[in-house]
Amino acid sequence: MLLNSMTRKLEKFKPLDDKTVKMYTCGPSIYQLPHIGNYRTFLFEDVLHRYLEYLGYDVKRALNITDVEDKAITEAEKEGVTLKELTERNTKVFLEELRRLRAKWPTYLPKSSSSVHQAVNIIDTLLRKEYAYWYKGSVYFDPTKFKNFGRLYRVDINRWPKEKKRFHRDTYPGNRWNLGDFILWHGYKKEDKEVYWDTSLGKGRPAWNIQDPAMATQSLGYKVDVYCGGVDNLIRHHDYSIAIVESVSGEPFVKVWLHGEHLFVDGRKMSKSRGNIIYPKDLIGQGCQWQHVRFFLINGHYRQRLNYTDKKFAAACARLQQFKSMVKKLQKMKTTNQKSNLKAEKLIARLKDDFEQSLNDDLHVKNAFDTLFKNMSKLLVVAEKGKVNRQDCEKAIAVLEGIDQVLQVIF
């Protein structure tokens, strides 16, 4: 069961194809390095990917990298480097940190800069169908032309202004809706310097709003089973993607939408002005391990806000280490018992069953780990009384190895 952000209901997951799942996951805007809040989103998506494979599905997943946008261009100018130098440097760090956090490598890693041709094709179609139009050398999308625009967020279309308004920037700060037409293509201006493409639309660059639709459709086509991102994407971004893709295809774009909640630091949202942004390297610099960072970020429920404090992080690290110690103790357990113990068999079965029950309940990782901890504690008590045989121990470890294909924190 997964809570679909579109319907606001828990739904039994069933992909469009019985055996294959097409999954799109919003990746980073790489004008700066991702912080631990960003990685919380990427890791809940990773757990979902891994669990779907655990259940036997063949997952085709795209994780996009946004490397062409206003913020990146501004940051590159500020640092005195080219856009390519900035984004390639940050992308290299991002991918290395993903690897260290044991995130599964996606099937596709599309970039905005490598999907310009697809963006142009989509814009051409939108212009032809009159969902989009030219204005002063750029292209805009008119949301009033798309039926049920804003249905993901539940936008009140009655609030839409009667006078024409256009929003020219890629992104806007704050959780507010821009009630008006949004930009798809930035026509070339002298200040753009080297950041442009020469296309059938003329010189220019794709706006942020068209980039995800281009990367998603180029990688997975116009129908996707699962589309994931942070809860902030419910403001404008994902409704824009729905309108763009469905205006082209005329068919439903996504079957299930999932959105992960924010991570706060000491009860406050991370921001440069507060000086409370935390990067993975900051935690590693304190002497913790990458597995600890992963565990802290996934050990909750993705739809519930997670609050980082030094105390909570230390407690999570200690709990994981305690569990790993129990596993090692079971691995090294010496037993002379020849017969299988019924209580041990039931506990081993519950390791798997309770884990799956929690993950099937909208991917509740914390409940899953808590039940693992409880059942392992009980199993260890039985084992220390000499009431398990070697086969029981090996079977339990095999179950945990299967579970850790999803969690990636035990071994």
Does 298 lie in the same domain as 249?
no
The full DSSP string for 97-155 is HHHHTTPPPPSB--BGGG-HHHHHHHHHHHHHTTSEEEETTEEEE-GGGSTTTTTTTT-
Task: Give me the pLDDT at residue 338, please.
Answer: 66
- Percent of the chain surpassing pLDDT 90: 84
Cβ(36)–Cβ(283) below 8 Å: yes
pLDDT tens figures, 144-189: 999 999 999 999 888 899 999 999 999 888 778 999 999 999 999 8
Task: Give me the pLDDT at residue 13, please.
Answer: 95
Task: Give me the pLDDT at residue 336, please.
Answer: 65
Task: Give me the pLDDT at residue 391, please.
Answer: 87
Run of H or E residues at 273: none
Phi, psi of 147 (to 5 degrees): -65, 135
- Percent of the chain surpassing pLDDT 70: 99
Place of tokens 């940050």: 90
3-class DSSP state for residue 24? strand
Task: Give me the pLDDT at residue 45, please.
Answer: 97
Band of residue 222 on the pLDDT scale cut at 50, 70, 90: very high
| Mean pLDDT calculated for residue range 238-256 | 97
Radius of gyration of the chain from its Cα atoms, rounded to whole angstroms: 24
CATH number for the domain that contains residue 285: 1.10.730.10
Cβ(192)–Cβ(186) below 8 Å: yes
Residue 333 has pLDDT above 90, yes or no: no
Cβ(207)–Cβ(170) below 8 Å: yes
Does 232 lie in the same domain as 187?
yes
Task: Give me the pLDDT at residue 176, please.
Answer: 83
CATH number for the domain that contains residue 58: 3.40.50.620
Residue 386 has pLDDT above 90, yes or no: no
Residue-number span of the structural domain to which 290 is assigned: 268-407
DSSP secondary structure code for residue 163 in this structure: S
Does 291 lie in the same domain as 209?
no
What gap in Å lies between CA 303 and CA 322, rounded to an integer? 27
Q: What angle do CA 235, 238, 244 make, to 5 degrees?
A: 125
Torsion of CA 252, 108, 213, 87, to 10 degrees: 160
Does 163 lie in the same domain as 117?
yes
Phi, psi of 163 (to 5 degrees): -80, 150
Higher pLDDT, 101 or 160: 101
What type of residue sits at position 209?
N
Task: Give me the pLDDT at residue 287, please.
Answer: 79
Q: End of a domain among 213, 234, 260?
A: 260
Band of residue 194 on the pLDDT scale cut at 50, 70, 90: confident
Residue 37 has pLDDT above 80, yes or no: yes
Task: Give me the pLDDT at residue 344, please.
Answer: 84
Place of tokens 């480097």: 81
Does 76 lie in the same domain as 36?
yes
Q: Does the CA dihedral 132-137-138-144 come out positive or negative?
A: negative
Does 20 lie in the same domain as 98?
yes
Tokens of 246: 């469905």
Q: End of a domain among 260, 281, 302?
A: 260
What gap in Å lies between CA 330 and CA 394, rounded to an integer? 9
Band of residue 58 on the pLDDT scale cut at 50, 70, 90: very high
Say which residues have a Cβ less than 8 Å from residue 223's Cβ, sequence separation at least 6. Answer: 16, 22, 249, 251, 252, 253, 255
Task: Give me the pLDDT at residue 271, please.
Answer: 78
Mean pLDDT of the chain: 94
Find the range with the poorest average confidence among 52-61, 161-170, 240-249.
161-170
Residue 20 has pLDDT above 90, yes or no: yes
DSSP secondary structure code for residue 59 in this structure: E
Say which residues have a Cβ less than 8 Å from residue 148's Cβ, sequence separation at least 6. Answer: none
Does 355 lie in the same domain as 238?
no
Q: Which pTM does this prediction carry?
A: 0.94
Does 131 lie in the same domain as 35?
yes
| Mean pLDDT calculated for residue range 70-98 | 95
* Residue 172, strand partner residues: none
Does 228 lie in the same domain as 311?
no
Cβ(27)–Cβ(65) below 8 Å: yes
Half-sphere exposure for 329 (CA within 13 Å, toward CB)? 14
Residue 233 has pLDDT above 90, yes or no: yes
Place of tokens 């669990």: 51
Say which residues have a Cβ less than 8 Å from residue 54's Cβ, sequence separation at least 6. Answer: 402, 405, 406
Does 256 lie in the same domain as 295?
no
Cβ(36)–Cβ(293) below 8 Å: yes
Task: Give me the pLDDT at residue 270, please.
Answer: 84
Q: End of a domain among 209, 233, 260?
A: 260
Length of the chain in residues, anyone?
411
Does 318 lie in the same domain as 281?
yes
Interstrand relation of 20-25 and 224-230 (parallel, antiparallel or unpaired): parallel
| Nearest partner of 154 among 131, 172, 177, 182, judged by Cα | 177
Q: What angle do CA 116, 121, 123 make, to 5 degrees?
A: 95
Band of residue 274 on the pLDDT scale cut at 50, 70, 90: confident
What type of residue sits at position 172?
Y
Does 297 lie in the same domain as 206?
no
Q: Residue 170 to residues 91, 166, 245, 253: CA-CA distances in angstroms?
A: 20, 12, 18, 22
Q: What total number of domains does the chain contain? A: 2
Band of residue 337 on the pLDDT scale cut at 50, 70, 90: low
Find the range with the poorest average confidence among 64-78, 127-141, 340-354.
340-354
| Mean pLDDT calculated for residue range 268-273 | 81
What gap in Å lies between CA 183 and CA 137, rounded to an integer? 11
